[in-house]
């Protein structure tokens, strides 16, 4: 059995160019859900040609209920819903030969990165892991790396492909669009993007099998510094004694290893967002 873990966001899906495409209240959302699911299926088809046999997919965008189960490849199992301790990586563990990041996007602040943001777009300005700015690619690749799993494929725009390769090295990238502004992309149609994704996914599994792509590992101790877009909720998060106040919009959390630090970071973000939305 060769298992592949797939974390599927939405901004980097075939066809997505603007925020309305990935918002569940938009009339275009239904089309984009189909295209996102087709991208995942293309990755599964390619990976199977490369020798993979089993797939776990985590829905990793917004309410995390975007992927159409009725259209999903029969070899996959899907984590759907958003109250996940591992967030965009729910289900990751040491049993996977490779991880894929499908429909990903560049981190907050990336010039011309399509729909660039980091985890919670309205809330987070920057996240630094041991001093280095991380987007979702880095944050989630290090979680896979904690379990010894290499991220071998990213799909999305040219900016996230560049971010992934800068951080993770020479991994496979299926660039299904080229962005020229945060809200403008030159898009491949699905007939072309599905072939590209499948080819890159096949290569990713074959290269993983040969041990050519190493896990991205952040050795402990690990600290996250988080800068927020607003002051709201930052002091409330510091009710937890493990959360350090750095300034009106900034705080720090630590862990002995990456997983411990990630848990602190994700829990803190959820707390701050809840305060900012007036939900508690």
Q: Where does this chain bind Zn ion (CB under 5 A)?
A: 9, 136
CB of 112 to Zn ion, least distance (A): 17
> What residue is closest to Zn ion based on CB?
9
Taking the least distance from each CB to Zn ion, the nearer of 124 and 271 is 124
Taking the least distance from each CB to Zn ion, the nearer of 50 and 135 is 135
Taking the least distance from each CB to Zn ion, the nearer of 12 and 233 is 12
CB of 136 to Zn ion, least distance (A): 5
Strand pairing category for 3-8 and 244-247: unpaired
- Give the whole-angstrom CA distance, residue 103 versus residue 176: 9
- Beta carbons of 100 and 9 less than 8 angstroms apart: no
CB of 221 to Zn ion, least distance (A): 27
Taking the least distance from each CB to Zn ion, the nearer of 16 and 98 is 16
Taking the least distance from each CB to Zn ion, the nearer of 9 and 227 is 9
DSSP helix/strand/coil, 112:
coil
DSSP letters, 35-83, are: HHHHHHHHHHHHHHHTT--EEEEEE-STTS--S-GGGS-TTEEEE-SS-
CB of 121 to Zn ion, least distance (A): 8
- Give the whole-angstrom CA distance, residue 147 versus residue 131: 22
Question: What residues contact residue 102 under an 8 Å CB cut-off, 6+ apart?
Answer: 6, 7, 8, 9, 12, 13, 36, 39, 40, 43, 153, 154, 155, 197
CB of 210 to Zn ion, least distance (A): 30
């Amino acid at each position: 059995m060769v298992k592949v873990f797939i974390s599927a966001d939405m901004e980097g899906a075939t066809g997505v160019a603007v925020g309305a495409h990935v918002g569940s209240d938009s009339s275009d959302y239904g089309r984009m859900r189909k295209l996102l699911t087709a991208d995942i299926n293309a990755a599964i088809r390619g990976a199977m040609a490369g020798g993979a046999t089993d797939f776990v997919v985590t829905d990793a965008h917004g309410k995390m209920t975007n992927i159409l189960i009725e259209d999903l490849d029969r070899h996959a199992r899907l984590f759907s819903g958003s109250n996940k301790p591992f967030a965009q990586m729910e289900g990751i563990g040491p049993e996977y030969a490779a991880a894929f990041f499908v429909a990903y996007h560049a981190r907050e602040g990336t010039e011309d990165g399509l729909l660039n943001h980091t985890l919670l777009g309205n809330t987070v300005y920057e996240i630094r892991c041991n001093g280095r700015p991380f987007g979702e690619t880095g944050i989630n690749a290090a979680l896979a790396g904690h379990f010894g799993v290499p991220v071998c494929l990213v799909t999305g725009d040219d900016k996230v492909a560049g971010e992934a390769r800068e951080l993770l090295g020479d991994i496979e990238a299926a660039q299904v669009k080229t962005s020229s502004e945060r809200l403008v992309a030159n898009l491949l149609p699905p007939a072309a993007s599905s072939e590209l994704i499948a080819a890159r996914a096949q290569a990713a599994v074959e290269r993983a099998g040969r041990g050519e792509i190493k896990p991205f590992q952040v050795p402990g101790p690990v600290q996250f510094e988080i800068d927020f877009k607003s002051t709201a909720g930052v002091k409330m998060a510091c009710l937890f004694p493990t959360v350090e106040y750095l300034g009106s919009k900034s705080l720090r959390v630590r862990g002995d290893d990456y997983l411990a630090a990630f848990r602190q970071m994700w829990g803190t973000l959820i707390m701050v967002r809840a305060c900012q939305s007036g939900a508690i």
